[in-house]
Amino acid sequence: MGTVAVHGLSKSFDKVQALDGVTLDVPDGSFFVVLGPSGAGKTTTLRAIAGLEKLDAGSVHLDGRDATGDAPAARDLAMVFQNYALYPRHTAYENIASPLRARRCSSSEIAAAVEQMSSLLHIEHLLQRRPAQLSGGEMQRVALARALVRRPRAFLMDEPLTNLDLKLRVEMRTELTRIHRSLGATFVYVTNDQVEALSMADQVAVLKEGKVQQVGTPTEVYERPANQWVAGFVGSPSISLLACHAEGDRLVGAEGWTLPRPRWTTAEDGRPLLLGLRAEDLSVEQRGNASLSGELYGLEPLGDRTVVDVRVGTEILKVKARPTVTGTPGERLLVTVDLDRAHLFDAG
Ligand code: ADP
Ligand code: MG
């Protein structure tokens, strides 16, 4: 078993309220991601679960048992950090074996466990090296193996991929989901990278200024963001937010544009709204009847696609286009809008 439930966690440091009533339910065996910008309270949340932070209020339950007052060692959790914290003088083998030695496991048990984890992480050939002889990605694998070998109740991971270069980070995302699946263990994984969160999580909790904004599957958080902030953070940088209000069967923009009012909105006339449009739901090709008129502001070629920046009044819309798209700044453009996939938020 490995359920982790925290309820009403609050913690202040001097004048900073790091956590403000954080409640999370992590099901057994899930890959649970806490996503938020720097300073949101992610590390403090993990430290609270691990028992490393004295709380002002709230409780921590592990496998249904109140563990709020338990010492860190009694909680049977493993923490993986962004800096690998390996013993420099020990080989990779000894680093991975160290938690088992501390538990006085037999040499044959240790050998079997190290072998199993190194094969899972594809580091069998590195076991006799010392940390100085390993690359960053290899060190991170050894650090993971050392955490995994203990078979704790749950793994707490604090931005473990942050110090890797982009290619390795992408590779380790796939690796971590594979490892998670093959161990069936509970992962509580903290990151500020929405792509990491969306690509690996079963469940995502979005955290801002010590408060949980939304909990859901990656699809729910992306497709139905609970508020404007979640839409901007999770969709960043592809979502544009335009000030507007409803008026009869139209949406009227602060910049003077109008669009048909989406059937699904219940907002009353005149109330200040923000229309959220993702780059992939906009097009510079003529293929729908809802469109906004603007002028080409710039092109961002990104290899597999080009993002066209279109100026509508004083606001910039990001529109996904084919990599071959061309145009000159200032030229008039009609942007087709897929209103069924748009979002409306209360402004302010
Ligand atoms: P995150 O991991 O999401 O970047 P943290 O949990 O580390 O955020 O921090 C949340 C807030 O609490 C930040 O404003 C941070 O400066 C503050 N904070 C965290 N730990 C301490 C500490 N030991 N002393 C003072 N302030 C802290
Ligand atoms: Mg942190």
Cβ of 40 closer than 6 Å to ligand 1, yes or no, is yes
In this predicted model, what pLDDT tens digit does every residue of 85-126 receive, in sequence order? 899 999 999 999 999 998 899 999 999 999 999 988 889 999
- Which helix or strand (DSSP H or E) is residue 117 part of? helix 107-120
Whole-angstrom CA distances from 70 to 51, 62, 76 are: 7, 10, 10
Instruction: Report the Cα 115 to chain-centroid distance in Å.
Output: 31
Cβ of 343 closer than 6 Å to ligand 1, yes or no, is no
The pLDDT confidence band at residue 348, using thresholds 50, 70 and 90, is low
Q: Which string of b and e fits 226-236 if b means at least 16 CB within 10 Å?
A: bbbebbbbbbe
Which ligand is nearest to the Cα of residue 83, counting in written order? 2
Between strands 31-35 and 203-208, the pairing is parallel
pLDDT of 236 strictly over 90: no
Nearest CA to ligand 1 atom 6: 41
Return the pLDDT at 235.
Answer: 76
More confident residue, 275 or 237: 275
Return the pLDDT at 287.
Answer: 65
For the chain, what's the residue count?
Answer: 348
Return the pLDDT at 288.
Answer: 64
The pLDDT confidence band at residue 315, using thresholds 50, 70 and 90, is confident
β-bridge mates for residue 189, sequence order: 33, 157
- Domains of the chain in start order, with CATH, are 4-229 (3.40.50.300), 237-346 (2.40.50.140)
pLDDT of 160 strictly over 90: no
Place of tokens 């402004």: 347
Which ligand is nearest to the Cα of residue 162, counting in written order? 2
pLDDT of 257 strictly over 70: yes
More confident residue, 33 or 83: 33
Nearest CA to ligand 1 atom 23: 13
Cβ of 12 closer than 6 Å to ligand 1, yes or no, is no
Mean pLDDT of 158-186: 88
Mean pLDDT of 246-250: 93
Query: Using only C-alpha atoms, what is the Rg of the chain?
Result: 24
pLDDT of 164 strictly over 90: no
Contact 10, 19 (CB under 8 A): yes
Cβ of 194 closer than 6 Å to ligand 1, yes or no, is no
In this predicted model, what pLDDT tens digit does every residue of 35-69 receive, in sequence order? 999 999 999 999 999 999 999 999 999 999 999 99
Residues in contact with 86: Cβ distance below 8 Å, sequence separation at least 6, in sequence order: 92, 95, 131, 139, 142, 143, 146
Mean pLDDT of 123-148: 92
305: exposed, middle or buried (Cβ count in 10 Å: 0-12, 13-18, 19+) = middle
In whole numbers, what is the pLDDT of the chain averaged over residues? 91
123/108 Cα distance (integer angstroms)? 19
